């Protein structure tokens, strides 16, 4: 009886979903002179634009790709006069902020007004203001607590944890800037780590100051002085010329009313999504594959969850191969957001990229991070695009191994080992490396590092020694990476799409149909996932980045070398 009720409920639910899908297919009527209203806040996933079932069921994260594409479409819509953007506290990488900011700038460049209304009380407002600064007019909510406090980078050191647990955590790394191992077993920054961290923060701060200064008619030096002030209250912001005033949201909307109207003409983003591309004159002339590689790189299948994502080599290789073999697809854009991971899985994906490149252009679009293994899989592409704030490079390798014999002893347990072979105990959880064993680990790691640098040299048309000079485990911003030859052009997803069009002899303004890989899930898998173990709120992006790497370490790092970048809690 209970099972019958479940099936009846599922049937009713499917009917409701079917009706919802039918209604969602209808293109909305939009009055000329309307303003698009949208909310930007929280975290944004790098994933394919949601399918109709996923969109109707909702998700815990906003979709970056969909937001960008909708704003690009809206820029061409002659019925829209502008946009009102409600900005609340953000929890995403600086590079993703740049993606959103670029999309708003494109909308504004089309001759449409952008009005930003900012609300929040969760500490520093540097991310929210940076995004808002691209607008024509900026208003803060009354009593908003969004002080302009500047950037900081927080790193988490785990060295003291193992001592308390009586675990002998051993780490070997190739090159001095490969600081993931230092974070794992250290208690403070090494000199190389501090040098790299300051270099990254200097690059990001320069981008922040320059972009805000250009938007508000100031100099970068003046913006830095306002940050150092500090600029704390809405009155401080207005006096400095950083905002146009404070208003309530309804007052912002009321200001848009035309003479004789009782309310402003607006259309929400959720409604605007139903506008067909053809309604604004977009008629696709080609197909481009958009392949997503998200999370720590592992062997096997990809997995997406609330606590972290993994990029499975089987899933991504299959997606790239399918896109390469499809004769109706003219080019591939490979969107990467990954701190790296398994050398084996990275190499399998790299090989698929190189194989696909022999058939059609493969353009890499780097998101928040494409570092270590994330850079390895990008290196074989035709062309690499990164945001100025993308974290990339980290060409190096780290190997961790834990001897848990002490912990077992605390729990009243012990192990005994019988082995054959001089190095049979090398990866035993009850073994600390001898000098000879450590030398063998180092030999393996240097072999992998040599392979890494050779493949980067091959893909980037550089000498191996030149790759080693800019490698050595060092993380770079996208802006820095372009200067040293690791990246071809600065920009976001739309820049990568423009390059892909150019490579197949289309103009930048030519419309194309995007084919997403891996293929979005259908309604049944979506329902099972939504009502199963995955129906949970996602972690904020800064914590997801740490979770991605800790899950990667748990899955792939037990006595295995890793191509992975140093994790950090947040740059804000």
DSSP state of 389: T
Region 68-72: mean pLDDT is 96
Region 16-27: mean pLDDT is 56
- 342, 346, 372, 400: which is the annotated catalytic residue? 372
Alpha-helical runs (H) found in 326-399: 343-357, 373-376
CATH code assigned at 340: 3.90.226.10
In whole angstroms, give the CA distance from residue 448 to residue 445: 5
pLDDT value at 187 more than 60: yes
Tell me, yes or no, whether 415 lies in a domain: no
Phi, psi for 5 (deg, rounded to 5)? -65, -40
Query: Are residue 271 and residue 319 in the same domain, yes or no?
Result: no
Tell me, yes or no, whether 447 lies in a domain: no
3-state percent helix, strand, coil for the chain, nearest multiple of 5: 45, 20, 35
Q: Kindly report the three-state secondary structure assignment for every residue of 117-164.
A: EECCCCCCCHHHHHHHCCCCEEEECCCCCCCECCCCEECCCCHHHHHH
Query: Are residue 371 and residue 478 in the same domain, yes or no?
Result: yes
Residues with Cβ within 8 Å of 127's Cβ and at least 6 positions away in sequence, in order, are 89, 90, 92, 94, 97, 572
pLDDT value at 16 more than 90: no
Tell me, yes or no, whether 184 lies in a domain: no
Instruction: Give the mean pLDDT of the chain.
Output: 88
Query: Are residue 138 and residue 254 in the same domain, yes or no?
Result: yes
In whole angstroms, give the CA distance from residue 339 to residue 549: 7
User: What pLDDT is attached to residue 398?
Assistant: 93
Region 398-406: mean pLDDT is 93
Query: Are residue 381 and residue 525 in the same domain, yes or no?
Result: yes
CA 392 to each of CA 367, 550, 563: distance values in angstroms, whole numbers, following the listed order: 10, 19, 12
In whole angstroms, give the CA distance from residue 442 to residue 438: 6
Query: Are residue 480 and residue 509 in the same domain, yes or no?
Result: yes
Q: Domain range holding 75?
A: 29-149+230-280
Strands (E), 391-451: 391-393, 397-403
Domains contained in the chain, number: 2
Tell me, yes or no, whether 469 lies in a domain: yes
Tell me, yes or no, whether 156 lies in a domain: no
Residue 115: helix, strand or coil by DSSP? strand
Residue ending a domain, among 263, 280, 297, is 280
pLDDT value at 553 more than 80: no
- 112, 178, 357, 482: which is the annotated catalytic residue? 178
Residue ending a domain, among 280, 297, 321, is 280
Query: Are residue 262 and residue 392 in the same domain, yes or no?
Result: no
pLDDT value at 411 more than 70: yes
pLDDT value at 532 more than 50: no
Query: Are residue 84 and residue 110 in the same domain, yes or no?
Result: yes
Query: Are residue 328 and residue 469 in the same domain, yes or no?
Result: yes
pTM of the shown model: 0.89
User: What pLDDT is attached to residue 122?
Assistant: 73
Q: How confident is the model at residue 369 (pLDDT cuts 50, 70, 90)?
A: very high
How confident is the model over 371-382, as pLDDT tens digits? Answer: 999 999 999 999
In whole angstroms, give the CA distance from residue 568 to residue 572: 11
Query: Are residue 258 and residue 369 in the same domain, yes or no?
Result: no
How confident is the model over 283-328, as pLDDT tens digits? Answer: 999 999 999 999 999 999 998 765 468 999 999 999 999 999 999 9
Residue ending a domain, among 256, 280, 304, is 280
pLDDT value at 4 more than 90: no
Tell me, yes or no, whether 526 lies in a domain: yes
Phi, psi for 78 (deg, rounded to 5)? -70, -15
The residue whose two tokens read 């972290």 is 308
Query: Are residue 315 and residue 246 in the same domain, yes or no?
Result: no
**What percentage of the chain has pLDDT greater than the value 70?**
84
Strands (E), 48-112: 62-63, 80-90
Tell me, yes or no, whether 562 lies in a domain: yes
Query: Are residue 253 and residue 370 in the same domain, yes or no?
Result: no
Query: Are residue 487 and residue 535 in the same domain, yes or no?
Result: yes
Nearest Cα to Cα of residue 530 among 51, 65, 64: 51
The residue whose two tokens read 């502008």 is 82
How confident is the model over 220-240, as pLDDT tens digits? Answer: 999 999 999 999 999 999 999
Tell me, yes or no, whether 406 lies in a domain: no
What DSSP string describes 451-512?
Answer: HHHHHHHHHHT--HHHHHHH-TT-EEEHHHHHHTTS-SEE--HHHHHHHHHHHTT--TT---
User: What pLDDT is attached to residue 114?
Assistant: 99
Region 187-209: mean pLDDT is 96
372 catalytic residue (yes or no): yes
How confident is the model over 437-486, as pLDDT tens digits? Answer: 999 999 999 999 999 999 999 999 999 999 999 999 999 999 999 999 99
């Amino acid at each position: 009886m209970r099972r019958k009720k479940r099936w009846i409920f599922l049937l009713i639910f499917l009917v409701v979903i079917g009706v919802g899908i039918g209604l969602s297919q209808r293109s909305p009527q939009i009055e000329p002179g309307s303003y698009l209203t949208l909310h930007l806040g929280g975290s944004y996933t790098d994933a394919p634009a949601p399918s109709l079932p996923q969109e109707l069921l909702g998700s815990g994260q906003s979709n970056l790709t969909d937001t960008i594409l909708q704003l690009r479409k809206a820029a061409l819509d002659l019925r829209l006069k502008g946009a009102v953007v409600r900005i609340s506290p953000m929890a995403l990488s600086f590079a993703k902020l740049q993606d959103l900011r670029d999309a708003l700038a494109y909308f504004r460049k089309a001759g449409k007004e952008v009005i930003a209304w900012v609300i929040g009380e969760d500490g520093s407002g540097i991310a929210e203001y940076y995004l808002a600064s691209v607008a024509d007019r900026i208003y803060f909510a009354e009593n908003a607590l969004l002080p302009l406090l500047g950037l900081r980078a927080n790193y988490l050191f785990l060295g003291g944890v193992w001592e308390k647990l009586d675990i002998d955590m051993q780490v070997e790394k190739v090159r001095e800037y490969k600081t993931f191992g230092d974070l794992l077993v250290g208690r403070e920054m090494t000199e190389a780590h501090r040098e790299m961290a300051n270099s990254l923060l200097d690059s990001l701060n320069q981008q922040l100051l320059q972009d805000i200064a250009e938007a508000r008619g100031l100099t970068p030096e003046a913006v830095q002085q306002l940050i150092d002030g500090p600029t704390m209250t809405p009155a401080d912001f207005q006096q400095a010329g950083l905002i146009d005033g404070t208003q309530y949201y309804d007052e912002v909307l009321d200001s848009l009313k035309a003479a004789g109207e009782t309310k402003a003409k607006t259309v929400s983003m959720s409604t605007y999504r139903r506008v067909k591309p053809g309604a604004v004159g977009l008629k696709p002339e080609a197909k481009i594959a958009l392949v997503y590689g998200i999370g720590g790189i592992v062997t096997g299948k990809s997995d997406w969850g609330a606590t972290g994502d993994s990029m499975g080599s089987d899933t991504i290789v299959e997606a790239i191969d399918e896109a390469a073999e499809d004769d109706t697809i003219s080019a591939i854009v490979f969107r990467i957001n990954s701190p790296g991971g398994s050398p084996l899985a990275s190499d399998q994906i790299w090989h698929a990229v190189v194989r696909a490149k022999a058939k059609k252009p493969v353009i890499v679009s780097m998101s928040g991070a494409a570092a270590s293994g994330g850079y390895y899989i990008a290196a074989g592409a035709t062309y690499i695009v990164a945001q100025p704030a993308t974290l990339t490079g980290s060409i190096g390798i780290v190997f961790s191994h834990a001897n848990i014999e002490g912990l077992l002893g605390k729990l009243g347990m012990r192990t005994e080992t019988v082995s054959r072979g001089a190095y049979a105990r090398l990866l035993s959880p009850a073994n600390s490396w001898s000098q000879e064993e450590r030398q063998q680990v180092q030999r393996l790691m240097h072999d992998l590092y040599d392979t890494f640098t050779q493949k980067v040299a091959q893909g980037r048309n550089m000498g191996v020694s030149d790759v080693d000079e800019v490698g050595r485990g060092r993380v770079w911003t996208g802006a820095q990476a372009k200067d040293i030859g690791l990246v071809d052009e600065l920009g976001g997803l739309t820049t990568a799409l423009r390059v892909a069009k150019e490579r197949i002899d289309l103009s930048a303004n030519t419309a194309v149909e995007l084919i997403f890989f891996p293929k979005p899930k259908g309604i049944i898998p979506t329902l099972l996932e939504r009502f199963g173990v995955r129906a949970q709120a996602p972690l904020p992006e800064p914590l997801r980045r740490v979770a991605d790497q800790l899950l990667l370490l748990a899955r792939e790092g037990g006595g295995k070398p890793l191509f992975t970048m140093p994790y950090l809690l947040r740059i804000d």
